[in-house]
Each structure stands twice: as structure tokens, then as C-alpha cells.
Chains A and B, each alone.
Chain A
Amino acid sequence: MKANSSSARAWVLRTFCVVVLLFLVAPILAIVPLSFNAEPFFTYPMPGLSLQWYRELMESAVWQLALRNSLIVATFATLLASVLGTLAALGLSRNDCPWRAVIMAVLISPMIIPVVVSAVGIYYCFARVGLLNTLTGIVFAHTALGAPFVVITVLATLSSFDHNLMRAAASLGASPMRAFFRVMLPVIAPGVASGALFAFITSFDEVVVVLFIAGSEQRTLPRQMWSGVRESISPTITAVATLLIVASVLLLVSVQWLQGRAARASARSGASG
């Protein structure tokens, strides 16, 4: 009797959770087959299969430009955010770092402040210094939004880094620079890489700032999707969405892999210390 009721409870829990997981995953997966639909409808069953929406995508100058802009902006924003963010995390991880709480609050603020407020402020100021309607302006804004992710992930990796390794390198005659590049960087690399991935995703997915500060020549992929969803959705968008879903699955897998590596690396460096 007792076993029955507990298994019934487990069954209810499991069913409920499966429904919740369906809610999470189904809408994303539902859009994938629709991108291969022969007809421009969004219902199942589909009358036939076709690659026409992908062909349209390949032939569309607007989407090509949007993809190119997105890649350029995300790449440079990621590079800038990774370098600045890693340096800042190195400084913050030092025991003699002063005013740590205040500095941390400022560095993380782009994550906390609602993006509309940031976007309107950036729009207001960039207009004055001629950064509106430029890719440089978007790169700067996205660097600011992405850097906190790098700071946080690198800081987390550094917290388990064994600083005796650096002392050992110094005692063996390595200059601080050499010790950093040869000893510390390889150990914290997975943390830096996953921070960089976060920064990349942040930039690649960002639309609010772009809405304000980009002209039609600087349209990014999300910006192009935004106007697509606002007007009537064409099946071409489902093709874009499908490609982006594939990309996010790849990213998700690589971040999982990086985090696993980071955890193993810090466990190793912890064990040696």
C-alpha cells in the first residue's frame, strides 16, 4: 500500500516534469521542421518538404549583411571583453586588491542594469561622439555587456588556482609575464574560453542596444529577426532560427565540455597544492 502511494507520487512528479520539459523544448523543436515546409504555413502536418527557405536565405543580401555584421561585432566584442575581463579578474583575485566590493559592483553593473536603460544611455551619449550608426559603436557597447561574464567565469576559475605554481615558476627564474603565459594561462584557459563564449553569445544575441544605435547598414541577425517578427513572419525566419538553434546546441555542448575541463583542471591543480 505504502509502496504503491510513493510510486504513484513519483509517477505524478515525473509526468509533471516531462510536461514542463516539453514546454521548455517543444516550441524550439517545433520550429525546425517548419523551416523545411514546402508551403509558407506554420501548421502540421506539412504538405511537403523543400529547401526553398534556405535558398531564399542564401540569396538574400539583407540576411547576408546581417550575418556578416553579427559575426564581426561579436568577434571583436569578444576579443576586447576577454582581454579586459581577464586582466580585471587577475587584479580582483589578488589578496591585496583594494575596494574589491565597489569595483566588483561597477564591473558587474552591465549585467544588472536593465538593458533598455543601458541602451538609451549609450544612444544618448554615442550620438554626441559620432559612434551612432557605426560597427565600432556596437562593438564597444557589446564589450561592456559581455565583459562581466568574462570577469565572473575567470574569477571563479582563479579562485581554485594554486598560486604556489606561480611562486615555483618565479623561483625557477621565469619572469612574471613568462610565468603567466606558460603556467597560469594554460590552467585558467577553460575559464577564459567559457567566459569568451558567454561574451560572444551575449553580443550575438543582443538586440536592444542595436535597435537604438545601429542604422540599416549595421543591422545584425537579431535586429533583422526583430523586424521580421514585428511584420508578418516569413518562413525564411524559421530557416534562420533553425540554423541558430543548431549553433546554440553546438555552443552548449562546447561550454559543457569546457566547464568539465575547467573543473578537472582546478581539481588537479588543487590536488597538487
Chain B
Amino acid sequence: MKPVPSHGSALGATTVDDHVALRRQLLRLQRRGRWKAIGLIAPLMVFLALVFVVPIVLLLARAVDNHEVPAVLPQTSIAMKDWNGDAPPTHVLADALIVDLRTSPREAVAEVAKRLNYYQSGLRSMVLKTAREVNNESASNLSGLERLKEIDERWLEPATWSVIQRALPPTTDFYLLASLDLRRDAQGAIVAATGDSAIYRDVIVRTFVISAAVTLLCLLLGYPLAYWIAIAAPRTARLLLLMVLLPFWTSLLVRTTAWVVVLQSGGVVNSLLGWLGLIDPAHPLELIHNRIGVLIAMTHILLPFMALPIYSVMKSIPPNYMRAAASLGASPLRAFLRVYLPLSLPGISAGCLLVFILALGYYITPALVGGPRDQMLSYFIAYFASQVTNWGMAAALSATLLVLVLLLYAVYHRMVGIDKLRMG
């Protein structure tokens, strides 16, 4: 086995050289393979980055962005540095503000006035009026502060100026706090918002309650259904699966339309109940544009997402286990609770998490079959983005929803594995 001594050293050297060369070649191949993989993935990655990731990141950045106010009020920004929040407003401050209001374009001033109004209502009209007056006035011998006082007495109050001071930094936590019903008081401490402005905690709680109720309903309806399909003969099972998949494949708008048609006061359900004599046809049940409608329609839409994962887990449970439990003397109920239920638990958790996560982000169905008190977080995001164009609020609520969903997905990934996320 030992190498011949005379050839030993030479042979050993070549093997080491070969080894190094081989290793280098292997590394080069590996590197080339890695680049090949990256090259294949890159087109989609770049595309998604441009049309999906960057837009969402830019949107979320709007939640803390405040660059417009300092851009429109540059002189005021500088003058503000020498002013402490409690002292009466100075002439320097007043002059700076007047210069800013005169030089900035009107739309930009209007935008800033709108922003200041978020901090203190009434400031919008006051700033707009001031801007109008200082632009109209020709030269006057009043000082800046006196002119402001003439336009509105509130310009003499330090509180007004401290609102502007708080609105000036290029970033703000205003929207993020507001999306959780919090705000900063005059001293800058975080306090709970009160009265009419405190609505988002309700919305978040409502979003959770509706999603949880839908998840529970889907579980109650989906678990027995999945069980039946799992134990049915193959031919029956295939037919039953098709019946579960049909609504899954039907357009969301078609399903929502169907529910509106079926549930409305002159609709199929009410006329059927009236015909059966269960209700008085003159007083149909109110099944739509309220919570009942939302729960029915959302359960209908999300039920396949519950039934299918549970079914696929149940199909892998050998029927012998239940027979074994029975032969060992367990009652059917006991066998189910101690053997079948624990074995089907992965399907239950996968289905529940999936349905809950999907329900959290729902917009279309509650908007079409719900009333004003059934709207979820998504509705308010859409409202702020498209109806009142308050990007800060739209972004802050998006961030809240996104954090909720991503946290739950992390759990889903841990428990189920994201690659198991398959549709149909």
C-alpha cells in the first residue's frame, strides 16, 4: 500500500497540485453557477423592485415625511432656531413668515396650511387668509408683527407659533401616532387623542374582530367538510372538491354581486323565507349593508382557503389510527379528540392563519356588502389615498396593516412554511 519511496515525493506533489487545481476549478464552476442562477432571477427581481417594492417603500416613507413644510417656509425655519417655544413671537419671526408666504407658490402654501390644520384645527383658514392679505397689501408702514396681528389676533399667541415650530422638522411622527389614536400635546408629550379624532383604534379592533369571526366561521364550516371529503370514496371526493373549488375560481366581483342579489331585501333569501312563512314579506330581514352581510360574504369567499389545507392534512392521516384507537376501547368521540384532532392540527393552524391574514387586508367585500360601521383598515387607507389625498395618513395606516400582516406571516412561515402556500 505504501508508495514506492523513490517516486513518493513526486507523486505526492502532483496530487497536491491536482487537488488545488481541481478545487479552484470547482470554485470557478460554483461561482459561474451562482451567477447563472442570479441571472435567471434578476429580470423578475428588477421588475418587482421597480413596480412593486420601490413604490411601497416610497409610500411608507411618506408616513414620516415632512419635507414640504420646511421647503415652503425656509426663512421661518431659520428664524425659528432663535425662538424658544414660550416667549412671545418676535419681529424676526413675523417678518420671516411674511416673506415665506409671499414668495411661495399658492398651492404650496395651501398644502402647508392643510398640514398645520392637522396639528390644530382652524389654522388652515387663518394661514390662507394671512397669505392672501400679505400678498395683496402694497407697502405699509406697519411692522410685520403688527400686520399679522391686524389679520388675526392669534398670531400674537406663542401657542400658534409653537404649532408651526413643531411642524417644521423634515420628519414627523404625527401620522404614525395618529394612526394609533395618539398625538403630541403642546409640551410634546404623547397623549391619547380624544373625541372625534380617536377612531383608528376602533378600526383596528374592528378589523381584528371581523377577521377573527370570519376565521372561526370558516373553521366551523370547513373542518367537517374537509373531513367528509377526506374519508369519501375517490370519485365522490373529486366531485366534492370541484364544488369547493368552483367558488374559489369564480371572480370575486361575481361572488359579491351574487350575495348582493341573493341577500337584498327583495332578494332570493328574503322571498324564500317569506314564501315559507318564516318572515312577514312586508318586513324583510336586513341581511346586507351590515355586519351580517360582511360575515356571510367573507366566510363564503375565504372558506376554500380553510377547507383545502385542512383536507390535504387529513388525507395524510392513515385511517388505521382511528381503527386502532377504537380497537383499544376508545369511544369515537375520545378517539377523535385524542387521535384525529391532534393529527389534523397542522391543517387547522395553516387554514386559520391563512384565512385570518387574508381577511385582515380585505377591502372589496366590506366596501360592497358592509355598512359604514363595517369598514376595515383597508377602507381607510383607500379613503385617505384617493378621497382626501392625505398621503401621510394613508402611509401610516398602510404601515400598521403591513406590520400586522407580516408578523402573522412570520408565524405562518414558522408553522407551515411559505412554500406550502399554494392555491387550488
Expressed in whole angstroms, the Cα–Cα distance for A252 and B241 within the complex equals 11
Name the A residues within 8 Å of B225 (CB-CB): 17, 20-21
Given contacts A27-B255, A28-B247, A229-B368, contact A114 B405 (CB under 8 A): yes
Q: Mark B348-371, 1 if CB is under 8 A from A, else 0.
A: 000000000100110110001000
Residue A103 is within 8 A (CB to CB) of chain B in the complex: yes
Name the B residues within 8 Å of A124 (CB-CB): 55, 58-59, 62, 385, 391
Name the A residues within 8 Å of B422 (CB-CB): 152-153, 156
Expressed in whole angstroms, the Cα–Cα distance for A212 and B237 within the complex equals 41
Residue B1 is within 8 A (CB to CB) of chain A in the complex: no
Residue A63 is within 8 A (CB to CB) of chain B in the complex: no
The answer to whether B332 touches A9, judged by C-beta atoms less than 8 angstroms apart, is yes
Given contacts A114-B378, A124-B59, contact A88 B45 (CB under 8 A): yes
The answer to whether B423 touches A149, judged by C-beta atoms less than 8 angstroms apart, is yes
Given contacts A112-B405, A114-B378, contact A91 B39 (CB under 8 A): yes
The answer to whether B37 touches A207, judged by C-beta atoms less than 8 angstroms apart, is no
The answer to whether A23 touches B364, judged by C-beta atoms less than 8 angstroms apart, is no
Residue B268 is within 8 A (CB to CB) of chain A in the complex: yes
- Most central of B33, B227, B251 by chain A CB within 10 Å: B251
The answer to whether B421 touches A111, judged by C-beta atoms less than 8 angstroms apart, is yes
Residue A92 is within 8 A (CB to CB) of chain B in the complex: yes
Contact among B36, B48, B58, B224 with A16 in the assembled complex (CB-CB below 8 Å) = B224
Q: Mark B31-57, 1 if CB is under 8 A from A, else 0.
A: 001101111110111011001111111
Residue B418 is within 8 A (CB to CB) of chain A in the complex: yes
Residue A190 is within 8 A (CB to CB) of chain B in the complex: no
Name the B residues within 8 Å of A151 (CB-CB): 44
Contact among A31, A104, A116, A156 with B363 in the assembled complex (CB-CB below 8 Å) = A116
Name the B residues within 8 Å of A6 (CB-CB): 332
Residue B382 is within 8 A (CB to CB) of chain A in the complex: yes
Number of interface residues of B (CB under 8 A): 87
Q: Mark B240-272, 1 if CB is under 8 A from A, else 0.
A: 101111110111111111111110101110011
Residue B424 is within 8 A (CB to CB) of chain A in the complex: yes
Name the B residues within 8 Å of A111 (CB-CB): 421
The answer to whether A125 touches B53, judged by C-beta atoms less than 8 angstroms apart, is no
Name the B residues within 8 Å of A76 (CB-CB): none
The answer to whether A110 touches B360, judged by C-beta atoms less than 8 angstroms apart, is no
Contact among A24, A153, A208 with B247 in the assembled complex (CB-CB below 8 Å) = A24
Contact among B37, B43, B257, B394 with A237 in the assembled complex (CB-CB below 8 Å) = B257
Name the A residues within 8 Å of B254 (CB-CB): 28, 31, 225, 241, 244-245, 248
Name the B residues within 8 Å of A64 (CB-CB): none
In the complex, how many angstroms separate the beta carbon of A81 from the nearest chain B beta carbon? 9
Residue A143 is within 8 A (CB to CB) of chain B in the complex: yes
The answer to whether A121 touches B271, judged by C-beta atoms less than 8 angstroms apart, is no
Contact among B222, B252, B266, B421 with A42 in the assembled complex (CB-CB below 8 Å) = B266
The answer to whether B36 touches A91, judged by C-beta atoms less than 8 angstroms apart, is yes
Residue B228 is within 8 A (CB to CB) of chain A in the complex: yes
Contact among B43, B228, B243, B271 with A88 in the assembled complex (CB-CB below 8 Å) = B43
The answer to whether B37 touches A28, judged by C-beta atoms less than 8 angstroms apart, is no
Expressed in whole angstroms, the Cα–Cα distance for A241 and B361 within the complex equals 24
The answer to whether B361 touches A205, judged by C-beta atoms less than 8 angstroms apart, is no
Expressed in whole angstroms, the Cα–Cα distance for A126 and B385 within the complex equals 14
Contact among B34, B60, B419 with A96 in the assembled complex (CB-CB below 8 Å) = B34
Residue B409 is within 8 A (CB to CB) of chain A in the complex: yes
Residue A108 is within 8 A (CB to CB) of chain B in the complex: yes
Name the A residues within 8 Å of B44 (CB-CB): 84-85, 87-88, 107, 147, 151
The B200-242 residues at the A interface (CB cut-off 8 A) are 221-222, 224-225, 227-228, 240, 242
* Chain B residue at smallest Cβ distance from A2: B332
Residue B30 is within 8 A (CB to CB) of chain A in the complex: yes
Expressed in whole angstroms, the Cα–Cα distance for A107 and B52 within the complex equals 10
The answer to whether A31 touches B261, judged by C-beta atoms less than 8 angstroms apart, is yes
In the complex, how many angstroms separate the beta carbon of A41 from the nearest chain B beta carbon? 7
Name the B residues within 8 Å of A155 (CB-CB): 419
Residue A13 is within 8 A (CB to CB) of chain B in the complex: yes
Q: Mark A223-242, 1 if CB is under 8 A from B, else 0.
A: 00110111001000110010
Expressed in whole angstroms, the Cα–Cα distance for A97 and B35 within the complex equals 8
* Chain B residue at smallest Cβ distance from A91: B40
The answer to whether A24 touches B303, judged by C-beta atoms less than 8 angstroms apart, is yes
- Most central of A14, A117, A201 by chain B CB within 10 Å: A117
The answer to whether A252 touches B253, judged by C-beta atoms less than 8 angstroms apart, is no
Name the A residues within 8 Å of B244 (CB-CB): 21, 24
The A143-167 residues at the B interface (CB cut-off 8 A) are 143-144, 147, 149, 151-153, 155-156
* Chain A residue at smallest Cβ distance from B57: A121
The answer to whether A121 touches B37, judged by C-beta atoms less than 8 angstroms apart, is no
Contact among B48, B300, B382, B401 with A147 in the assembled complex (CB-CB below 8 Å) = B48
Expressed in whole angstroms, the Cα–Cα distance for A212 and B259 within the complex equals 24
* Chain B residue at smallest Cβ distance from A201: B249
Expressed in whole angstroms, the Cα–Cα distance for A28 and B43 within the complex equals 40
In the complex, how many angstroms separate the beta carbon of B309 from the nearest chain A beta carbon? 15
Name the A residues within 8 Å of B242 (CB-CB): 252, 256
Given contacts A28-B246, A248-B251, contact A43 B268 (CB under 8 A): yes
Residue B143 is within 8 A (CB to CB) of chain A in the complex: no
Name the A residues within 8 Å of B250 (CB-CB): 28, 244-245, 248
Expressed in whole angstroms, the Cα–Cα distance for A229 and B225 within the complex equals 31
Residue A192 is within 8 A (CB to CB) of chain B in the complex: no
Residue A38 is within 8 A (CB to CB) of chain B in the complex: no
Expressed in whole angstroms, the Cα–Cα distance for A23 and B269 within the complex equals 12
Name the B residues within 8 Å of A152 (CB-CB): 419, 421-422
Residue A44 is within 8 A (CB to CB) of chain B in the complex: yes
In the complex, how many angstroms separate the beta carbon of A214 from the nearest chain B beta carbon? 12
Show 24 A/B contacts (Cβ-Cβ < 8 Å), sorted by A: A20-B303, A23-B221, A28-B250, A30-B261, A31-B257, A31-B258, A41-B266, A84-B47, A87-B40, A94-B40, A96-B36, A96-B37, A112-B406, A114-B361, A114-B401, A123-B386, A124-B55, A147-B48, A151-B44, A152-B419, A204-B251, A207-B364, A208-B382, A256-B245
For the A-B complex with A42-B268, A115-B361 known, give 5 more contacts whose Cβ atoms are closer than 8 Å.
A43-B266, A107-B41, A152-B419, A155-B419, A198-B423
